[in-house]
Structure 1
Amino acid sequence: MLIRTLRETRASDLNVKSDGWESARMLLKDDGMGFSFHITKLYAGSELKMHYQNHLEAVMVLKGTGTIEDLATGETHELRPGTLYALNNNDLHIVRPETDILTACVFNPPVTGKEVHDETGAYPADPALAEEA
């Protein structure tokens, strides 16, 4: 059984900060769960262009408001508490927080913990997965 608190995670090196966001990585690849789980804060006024080419992600908005734009279709959707979005097609998207947004996120395959977005807006592929292929 794994027991972790958000407070402890935020005070550790498992709390990763980057431009426009901060993510407490609560479960990671080495935990052996088959997914990773993060509590992520997206900062108001940022514009976060992301494209998880190597991961699928589901996000539940817990607090805050903003929008997400699907760049393939041009559709924009409102984000507010209780909204879930799933990037089930490695969707290229932009999140625009109007207020700070607090989210719970799940990634498959799980991340290792130190990832930040590369120049394409993706997290890098896990090298171990490439070796297995």
Structure 2
Amino acid sequence: MWGFLKDLNAKGTTIILTTHYLEEAEMLCRNIGIIQHGELVENTSMKNLLSKLKSETFILDLAPKSPLPKLAGYQYRLVDTSTLEVEVLREQGVNSVFSQLSEQGVQVLSMRNKANRLEELFVSLVHEKQGDRA
């Protein structure tokens, strides 16, 4: 179904999608409106909304028997012997993470976002708006 909607949209048809599946909304939508308790709390482009992220948390899968990593300037934690969770601030980027790990002989097998970026923003916006009402 999502492929059909993408094709239809690519042909110039505007689609209004309502969903609780924020990962799908992030993949499919160019513009987004977020409604909380019947109030429109955000109405912008997906690109603009995602630019508000202050940080992202990444999960790095490490090669077996890698040395214990140390990352200067980053919040991180070793989940288990082969999984590292790293918070990267927007202004930091990930290059330094890989440089530091490489210098320590730590091999990264794969990397993924810990959580859906749009979901993180949604939670942040909702908490921010609830704070405004208090």
| TM-score for both structures, normalised by structure 2 | 0.29
Instruction: Report the structure number with the largest CA radius of gyration.
Output: 2
Higher relative contact order (CA 8 A, sep 6+): 1
What TM-score, normalized by structure 1, do the two folds share?
Answer: 0.29
Structure showing the higher helix proportion among its residues: 2
Q: Hey, which of these two has a bigger chunk of strand by percent?
A: 1
